[in-house]
Chain A
Amino acid sequence: MKRFIGCLILVCSALAAHADVSNVAVSHARVRLLPGDLPLAGYFVLGNQSSHPITLIGASCPDFAMVMMHRSVHENGMDRMVGVKSLEVAPGKAVRFAPGGYHLMLMHRRHPMHVGDMVPITLHFVDGGERRIEFRVVGATDQ
């Protein structure tokens, strides 16, 4: 019985540690608007204020059919994008999704968008953790 309770506690704390993303700070969340139905970039800063690593594995948004994580790569005078399947952030560290680097790619918007709109994007973490963040829509020339 004691062993069983011991195991249960261990499993529960392990599960809690992996799924707990409440100590993740997200700031500067913005989507850069382009005309028509062009794919848009989402940028933000994600800080891991917990004592364990967190792993971002994707994002979703009710306003877009598809959201992917990408990284812009500049190599040999060429620019291209690579898909990012997962991104680990060590405890106490932050990752910036910013122009020229990591970005969310938001595709096939479900309705017209305007500067100033707020877009709810859910960040998905490994083992089921989620954080829903409001991203502000900014203009095409926003730096």
Chain B
Amino acid sequence: MWSRALVLCLMGLLPAGCGHSGPPWALKDISGLMPDLAFTLTDTQTDRPVHAAAFAGKVVLLYFGYTHCPDVCPTTLSRLSLAVAGLGAKADQARILFVSVDPKRDTAAALKTYATAFGPEVVGLRGSADALAALTKRYRVTYGYGKPDAHGDYEVSHSSAVYIFDRQGHVRLLARPTDSARAIMKDLKRLVAEG
């Protein structure tokens, strides 16, 4: 289905979600290449189920990681948080959704505290193994667990992609590790202004 969307997109036959005019984006344009934002997970701020629809109207940055990650996840979340803070008064128009790929260790309480450490727009989300599998399959996110050591600690490898969705929940951009906070902020400003 998504290869058909890609073909239609390239032919200019798909409306709205494809072929936006204007100057080039600072980040990689992946408009029309992934499904709309959709999930049912637990919002660790409220410890209640939440659907993607709850974030309609916000520009959403979707990132997958785990709290026992000392380097990459905090580095990425810092960068995203800095980009969102750069929106100033409009920062509240964006949400950084941090989905745990390590639900075993990342309890709702742990994720809530962790998200708070990075800024008010960061929301920690967790789900059952099934919910997580469905979501990661939908966005082609992979992850794997390393062998536990004597303490029971283990590493989790995970996709580095940050997917950015517009206020209508359509995927628009991909932020990679090499994209600076400044570049991300520049594109977020445009998406927020789109309305």
Interfacial residues, chain A to chain B (CB-CB below 8 A): 32, 34-36, 38-41, 66, 70, 72, 74, 77-81, 99-100, 103, 105-108, 139-143
A34-B70, A141-B82 given; name 14 further pairs at CB < 8 Å.
A32-B74, A35-B113, A35-B114, A38-B68, A39-B68, A39-B153, A70-B70, A78-B157, A78-B159, A81-B155, A100-B75, A107-B151, A108-B151, A140-B77
A102 CB, nearest partner CB in chain B, Å: 9
Main secondary structure of the interface of A (DSSP, over half): strand
B130 contacts A by Cβ under 8 Å:
no
Residue of B nearest to A139 (CB): B117
B2 CB, nearest partner CB in chain A, Å: 17
Residues of B within 8 A of A80 (CB): 155, 157-158
B111 CB, nearest partner CB in chain A, Å: 10
Residues of A within 8 A of B70 (CB): 32, 34, 38-41, 70, 103, 105-106
B71 contacts A by Cβ under 8 Å:
yes
Interfacial residues, chain B to chain A (CB-CB below 8 A): 67-72, 74-75, 77-79, 81-82, 110, 113-114, 116-119, 142, 151, 153, 155, 157-161, 177, 181
Q: A34 near B160 (CB under 8 angstroms)?
A: no
Query: How far apart sit A108 and B152, CA to CA, in the bound complex (Å)?
Result: 12
Query: How far apart sit A41 and B76, CA to CA, in the bound complex (Å)?
Result: 14
Q: A142 near B155 (CB under 8 angstroms)?
A: no
Residues of B within 8 A of A70 (CB): 70-71
Q: A141 near B78 (CB under 8 angstroms)?
A: yes
Query: How far apart sit A77 and B79, CA to CA, in the bound complex (Å)?
Result: 18
Query: How far apart sit A38 and B113, CA to CA, in the bound complex (Å)?
Result: 11
